[in-house]
């Protein structure tokens, strides 16, 4: 809402520079976004919150300043005098939709001369960004800016059958609005019609056929109240917004309408020499119920945390034009002015007092009660993982949860169901909730590739969204993309689990997801029969220049399984004995089956079985490989003395041929 | 013959002056002391001498030989010493740059959330989470946002179905926690939120918020100011000032926008603060009684405050980042700066 500094001073006496005024307004909640000098005046651009339509008129803003700064309010002249010819001679108004139009007033001014408006008015309108048109239109705009109440002037002689009917539009009707837009109207829209056709879209914009023009001699001035939602819906549906619709959508002062109408016709009479017809059309479907509220001083103190004196509170409320009925003891009984539709409860009054008292005058308390807070397990696990990975040179990334529907994005490791689509996406590129983080990491790798970073190690902790019953299942995942070989990233994942206190053994089961992971180098990782995640080398189809590995792990599972309870184990008193062994096996035999074979022998003192090399070459028959491993034996009570032969005999229960890996 | 010997010796002494390398010195040794050297040639003269002079001359040649050997050895030592620096193993250059281990970084958004959590943890706030895909009820109704409120339209909220949407604010978590838990409550809820804004330097359809909620008996606006002041001083610096402006949110009353003095210009006015000296960093207020009604709290007994801040905005202010898109491009050159 743009206001003129000089114009404002007409309603309230202030000794403030434009900047000082802006600061005062900001402090009461009317943020001044900009101050621009305009000739000998200043234009202040004020951000009015949606609950304060009363401040969409300069008088409303003057009221706030008067309350904050002291000083009297001055209201403009509204005396319209009396006339001989009654309005009923010229117009017949009926309201068919009293709920959508609770109040409709009309006045008639005859024998006007349409000319440019006076210089002073044009200057003020220009200052607040309105283009002067002619004296009638300018006066309706001027009074709207002054009071916040929109008005519309019709060319009386162009209204068919001397009728105004407030009704719903009929099928097939259309209108050309004064901005030139032709619109088909629908039966859920409220219009102002004459005897034949719609002449205005109620609360939104008038029609071009009945607009005031140079030849207009007699006018009908409409000043009404239209239901907020109705105006908003119609305005949106037709794609027409106006200063009127903006104000009607937010709500106008239902009790101020007649006064505003009087103010406008008085100005018209003064500026155009017209003759005001006697009487007024004033149709109202309901009486405005004055709201009564009680403010308890004790409650005021409790909510604000400061003892605002009773006199101070009463003074503030009076200046805001609340009608104090009773102010005995610890209660203030009052009536809410009709222009404050936003106030209906005690808490609303508390805000009013706080606003004018000054938020910045309320003390800043420096102590609160003791309450301990500990990190929850999710935080601990996430922190641990982040610290672990960044220590290893990984960067954490954050990518969008809403993705496109390209095939890569369709990767869904966790559910058979399709991803969840947004009903009203902005663009196709962001239309579906993702089911995996890996495609986003792949895109991040590509982005960096194109910006000169070839080698990358990144991870993200975020949710994937899996179709569920009412709400989707939001599963938090840890996904990693690293330009390393398979075993390096696998080792990192193993260490990570270890770091979280997860010691259960993982099974690595061959897995196939061709567009994403390289065939035969991808695994589903399982622990205690539950899938922990997926792991593998990036598919060649992704055309990376480097060898990259990907993994996506179930964070919810990691959080559940993690265990940070630590217990000291006494250090071994006696040294371990290491023995190395190489065995030649078929190519198909996996390490995990060899390891299982050895551990299944339950050999005494055998503490660890460690892989250290695989060899294929001259001495090894083709189709076979040599696996070198290292065995660690240890006893708690003595130094073991084990010869190689003893080791072998101890392992004698090991089958001479190791079965092919199952999985 | 004696002159002959003296001549040899003086010749040698002359020659040594021109020798600088070990190789030349060795050559000189061969020239004088070698099998076909000058000294041996002198020896060959002995048989031609008269018998009585032979012994004396032989003695003198031998003496000369020792002398020459000493001179040349000394020379060799000398010239060798001079070349030692060249043939010694390379010198260790202590000024070479160290081998730096490659360390990654947390995303700046995570860092900001961690910093915020840290401040509020010290004030007794627990961290809680809520779903991102939400029922309309939690995003609007329970937060006292009426059915016809503009923010409920397609223009301002992503919908999945009629009553299921992507939360447009983390305030939803307030309701979910209060439904489950009785006061006192002290929580913060960080997370992703979504709004159908076209992406540009200042807007993103996805961003992060941190919501805070404090409910107990006797919690006042003064407490709200105290807690936020503590946060602002800790996060932005002790010399940063705080300002509250009345504002409007459906779920708080009284409501406030909280500004801090511009950290770029110190409040004098610059482009970051639009020459006002203040920048808006969060919205806050006392929990509206209607919200307490929705979760069946006794609104007479309990009061509380809530606040919400945009994590990207705060991060941008703190580091002087002017394009929000950088957070989601994840350019390593960007991420490595924090």
What is the domain-level CATH number for residue B270? Answer: 3.30.930.10
Residue B96 lies in a domain: no
Question: Kind of pairing, strands A402-403 and A395-396?
Answer: unpaired
Indicate whether A88 pLDDT > 60: yes
The pLDDT of residue A81 is 75
Q: Which of A10, A34, A37, A5 is nearest to A21 (CA)?
A: A5
Pairing status of strand B164-166 against strand B133-135:
antiparallel
Q: How far is A393 from chain B (nearest CA, A)?
A: 4
Of residues B83 and B33, more confidently modeled:
B33
User: Within 13 Å of residue A653, how many CA atoms lie on the same side as its CB?
Assistant: 10
Residue A653, pLDDT > 70, answer no
Measure the CA–CA gap between A69 and A340, rounded to whole angstroms: 20
Query: Are A401 and B161 inside 8 Å of each other by CB?
Result: no
pLDDT category at B329 given cuts 50, 70, 90 is very high
pLDDT score for A647: 65
Q: Would you say residue B297 lies in a domain?
A: yes
| Per-residue pLDDT reduced to its tens digit, A146-171 | 999 999 999 999 999 999 999 999 99
Q: Are B20 and B153 members of one domain?
A: no
3 state DSSP class of A96: coil
Tens-place pLDDT, residues A300-337: 999 999 999 999 999 999 999 999 998 787 899 999 99
Query: What is the separation of C-alpha A337 from the centre of its chain, rounded to a whole number of angstroms?
Result: 33
Residues 112-171 of B with CB under 8 A from A: 114, 117, 121, 123-129, 131-135, 148, 150, 153-154, 158-161, 164, 166
- How far is Cα B189 from Cα B206, in angstroms, rounded to an integer? 16
Same domain, B82 and B113: no
Domains of chain A: 2-69 (3.30.56.10), 87-284 (3.50.40.10), 292-360 (3.30.56.10), 377-561 (3.30.930.10), 577-653 (3.30.70.380)
More confident residue, A15 or A385: A385
Residues B204 and B73 in one domain: no
The predicted structure's pLDDT at residue B13: 81
pLDDT at A663 over 50: no
Beta A606-615 vs A163-168: how paired, if at all?
Answer: unpaired
Q: How many of the other CB atoms lie within 10 Å of CB of A156?
A: 24
Pair B68, B200 in one domain: no
Question: Do residues B138 and B281 both lie within one domain?
Answer: yes
Q: What are the pLDDT digits (tens) for A233-269?
A: 999 999 999 999 999 999 999 999 999 999 999 999 9
**Boundary-marking domain end, from B87, B119, B147:** B87
Q: What is the mean pLDDT of chain A?
A: 92
Residue A598 has pLDDT above 90, yes or no: no
* Same domain for B171 and B118: yes
Domain count, chain B: 2
Answer whether residue B308 is part of any domain: yes
Is the pLDDT at A134 greater than 90? The verdict is yes
Please tell me whether residues B156 and B298 are part of one structural domain: yes
Distance (Å, whole) CA B170 – CA B149: 18
Residue B260 lies in a domain: yes
Degrees (nearest 5) of the Cα angle A25, A29, A34? 55
pLDDT of residue A644: 64
Contacts of A154 (CB under 8 A, 6+ apart): A164, A199, A200, A206, A210, A211, A212, A219, A220, A221, A222
Chain-wide mean pLDDT for chain B? 89
Tens-place pLDDT, residues A449-480:
999 998 999 999 999 999 988 899 999 999 99
Closest-approach residue (CA) in chain A for B111? A396
Residue B97 counted as domain residue: no
Show the 3-state SS of B96-115: CCCCCCCCCCCCHHHHHHHH
In a domain? residue B93: no
Q: How confident is the model at residue A111 (pLDDT cuts 50, 70, 90)?
A: very high
pLDDT at A660: 43
Confidence of residue A661 (pLDDT cuts 50, 70, 90): very low
d(CA A617, CA A620): 5
Given B87, B118, B140, which residue is the final one in a domain? B87
pLDDT digits (tens, 9 = 90+) for B75-129: 888 777 765 555 567 888 888 889 988 899 999 999 999 999 999 999 999 999 9
Residue B101: inside a domain: no
Residue of A nearest to B114 (CA): A383
| Contact assessment for residue A592 and residue A661, using Cβ atoms and an 8 Å cutoff | yes
B332 and A456 Cβ atoms separated by less than 8 Å: yes
Whether residues A471 and B131 touch (CB distance < 8 A) is answered with yes
Whether residue A662 is predicted with pLDDT greater than 50 in this model: the reply is: no
Ranges A635-644, B74-83, B272-281, most confident? B272-281
Is residue B11 domain-shared with residue B143, that is, in the same domain? no
The residue segments making up the domain with residue B327 are 108-335
Is B246 at the interface with chain A, CB within 8 A? yes
Question: Quick check: B254 and A350 CB within 8 A?
Answer: yes
Mean pLDDT lowest for which of A270-284, A318-332, A483-497, B257-271? B257-271
Q: Residue A77: pLDDT above 90?
A: no
Burial class (CB in 10 A: 0-12, 13-18, 19+), A458: buried
Whether residues B326 and B184 fall in one domain: yes
Ranked by mean pLDDT, the top range of A350-354, A657-661, B30-34 is A350-354
Give the span between the Cα atoms of A148 and A251, in whole angstroms: 10
Domain-embedded: residue B120: yes
Q: Which of A631-635, B1-5, B93-97 has the lowest mean pLDDT?
A: B1-5
Q: Is the peptide bond before A168 cis (omega within 30 degrees of 0)?
A: no
B335 touches chain A (CB under 8 A): yes
Mean pLDDT of A268-297: 90
Chain A CB contacts of B246 below 8 Å: 27-29, 351, 354-355, 359
A78 pLDDT band, cuts 50/70/90, is: confident
Chain A CA closest to residue B337? A395
Query: Is the predicted pLDDT of residue A126 greater than 60, yes or no?
Result: yes
Measured between CA atoms, the residue of chain A closest to residue B299 is A347
In terms of domains, do B133 and B216 share one?
yes
Task: Give the phi and the psi of residue A648 in degrees, each rounded to 5.
Answer: -65, -40
Question: Is the same domain home to B214 and B304?
Answer: yes
A378/B133 touch (CB, cutoff 8 Å), yes or no:
no
Tell me, yes or no, whether B76 and B117 share the same domain.
no
Interface test with B, best of A385, A395, A457 (most B CBs within 10 A): A395
Q: Rounded to whole angstroms, how far apart are CA atoms A473 and B8?
A: 106
Cβ pair B221:A304 closer than 8 A: yes
């Amino acid at each position: 809402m743009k206001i003129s500094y000089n114009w404002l001073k007409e309603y309230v006496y202030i000794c403030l520079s434009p900047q000082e005024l802006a600061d005062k307004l900001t402090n009461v909640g009317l943020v001044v976004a900009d101050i621009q000098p305009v000739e000998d005046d200043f234009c202040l651009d004020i951000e009015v919150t949606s609950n304060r339509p009363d401040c969409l008129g300069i008088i409303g803003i003057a009221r706030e300043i008067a309350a904050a700064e002291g000083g009297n309010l001055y209201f403009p002249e509204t005396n319209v005098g009396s006339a001989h010819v009654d309005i009923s001679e010229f117009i017949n108004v009926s309201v068919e939709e009293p709920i959508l139009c609770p109040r409709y007033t009309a006045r008639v001014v005859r024998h006007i001369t349409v000319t440019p408006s006076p210089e002073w008015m044009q200057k003020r309108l220009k200052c607040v960004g309105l283009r002067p048109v002619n004296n009638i239109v300018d006066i309706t705009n001027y009074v709207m800016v002054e009071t916040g109440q929109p008005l519309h002037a019709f060319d009386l002689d162009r209204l068919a059958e001397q009728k105004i009917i407030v009704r719903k539009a009929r099928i097939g009707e259309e209108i050309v609005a004064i901005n030139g837009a032709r619109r088909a109207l629908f039966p859920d829209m409220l219009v102002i019609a004459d005897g034949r056709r719609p002449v205005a879209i109620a609360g939104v914009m008038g029609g071009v056929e009945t607009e005031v023009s140079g030849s207009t001699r007699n006018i009908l001035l409409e000043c009404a109240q239209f239901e907020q939602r109705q105006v908003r819906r119609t305005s949106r549906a037709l794609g027409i917004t106006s200063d009127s619709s903006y104000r009607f959508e937010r709500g106008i002062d239902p009790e101020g309408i007649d006064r505003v109408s009087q103010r406008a016709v008085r100005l018209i009479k003064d500026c155009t020499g017209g003759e005001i017809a006697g009487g007024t059309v004033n149709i109202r479907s309901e009486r405005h119920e004055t709201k009564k509220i009680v403010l308890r001083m004790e409650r005021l103190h409790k909510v604000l945390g400061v003892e605002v004196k009773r006199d101070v509170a009463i003074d503030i409320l009076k200046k805001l034009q609340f009608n104090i009925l009773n102010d005995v003891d610890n209660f203030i009984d009052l009536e809410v002015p009709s222009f404050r539709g936003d106030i209906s409860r005690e808490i609303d009054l508390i805000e009013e007092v706080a606003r004018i008292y000054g938020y910045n005058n309320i003390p800043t308390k420096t102590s609160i009660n003791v309450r301990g807070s500990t990190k929850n397990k999710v935080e601990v696990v996430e922190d641990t993982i982040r610290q672990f990975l960044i220590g290893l040179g990984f960067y954490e990334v954050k990518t969008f949860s809403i993705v496109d529907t390209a095939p890569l994005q369709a990767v869904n490791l966790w559910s058979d169901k399709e991803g969840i689509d947004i009903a009203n996406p902005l663009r196709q590129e962001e239309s579906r909730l993702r089911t995996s983080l890996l495609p986003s990491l792949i895109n991040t790798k590509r982005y960096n590739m194109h910006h000169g970073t070839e080698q990358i190690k990144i991870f993200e902790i975020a949710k994937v969204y899996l179709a569920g019953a009412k709400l989707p299942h939001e599963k938090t995942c840890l996904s990693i993309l690293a330009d390393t070989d398979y075993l390096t990233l696998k080792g990192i994942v193993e260490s990570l689990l270890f770091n979280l206190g997860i010691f259960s053994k993982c099974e690595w089961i061959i897995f196939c997801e061709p567009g994403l992971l390289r065939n035969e180098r991808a695994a589903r990782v399982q622990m205690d029969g539950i899938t922990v995640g997926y792991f593998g080398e990036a598919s060649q189809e992704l055309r990376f220049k480097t060898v990259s590995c990907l993994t996506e792990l179930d964070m919810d599972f990691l959080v559940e399984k993690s265990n940070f309870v630590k217990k000291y184990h006494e250090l071994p008193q006696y040294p371990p004995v290491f023995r190395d062994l190489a065995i030649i096996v078929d190519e198909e035999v996996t390490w995990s089956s060899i390891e299982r074979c050895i551990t299944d022998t339950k050999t005494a003192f055998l503490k660890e079985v460690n892989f250290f090399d695989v060899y294929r070459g001259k001495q090894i028959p083709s189709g076979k490989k040599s696996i070198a491993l290292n065995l660690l034996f240890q006893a708690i009570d003595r130094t073991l003395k084990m010869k190689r032969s003893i080791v072998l005999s101890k392992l004698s229960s090991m089958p001479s041929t190791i079965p092919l890996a199952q999985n | 013959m004696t002159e002959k010997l003296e001549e040899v010796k003086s010749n040698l002494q002359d020659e040594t002056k021109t020798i600088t390398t070990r190789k030349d010195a060795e050559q000189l040794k061969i020239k004088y002391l070698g099998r076909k050297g000058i000294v041996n040639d002198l020896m060959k003269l002995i048989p031609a001498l008269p018998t009585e002079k032979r012994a004396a001359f032989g003695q003198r040649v031998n003496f000369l030989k020792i002398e020459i050997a000493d001179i040349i050895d000394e020379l060799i030592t000398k010239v060798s010493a001079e070349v030692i620096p060249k043939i010694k193993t390379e010198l260790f250059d202590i000024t070479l740059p160290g081998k730096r281990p490659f360390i990654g970084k947390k995303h700046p958004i995570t860092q900001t959330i961690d910093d915020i959590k840290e401040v509020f943890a010290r004030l007794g706030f627990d961290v809680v989470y809520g779903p991102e895909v939400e029922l309309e009820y939690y995003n609007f109704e329970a937060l006292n946002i009426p059915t016809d409120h503009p923010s409920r339209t397609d223009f301002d909220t992503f919908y999945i179905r009629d009553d299921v949407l992507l939360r447009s604010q983390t305030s939803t978590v307030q309701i979910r926690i209060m439904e489950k838990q009785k006061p006192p409550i002290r929580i913060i809820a960080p997370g992703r939120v979504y709004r159908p804004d076209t992406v540009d330097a200042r807007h993103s359809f996805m961003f992060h918020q941190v919501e805070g909620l404090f409910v107990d008996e006797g919690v006042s606006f003064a407490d709200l100011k105290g807690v936020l002041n503590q946060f602002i001083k800790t996060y932005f610096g002790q010399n940063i000032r705080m300002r509250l402006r009345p504002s409007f949110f459906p779920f708080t009353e009284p409501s406030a926008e909280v500004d801090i003095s511009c950290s770029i210009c110190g409040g004098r006015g610059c482009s970051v603060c639009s020459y006002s000296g203040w920048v808006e960093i969060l919205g806050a207020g006392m929990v509206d009684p209607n919200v307490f009604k929705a979760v069946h709290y006794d609104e007479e007994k309990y009061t509380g405050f809530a606040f919400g801040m945009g994590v990207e905005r705060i991060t941008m202010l703190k580091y002087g980042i002017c394009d929000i898109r950088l957070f989601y491009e994840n350019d390593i050159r960007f991420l490595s700066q924090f």
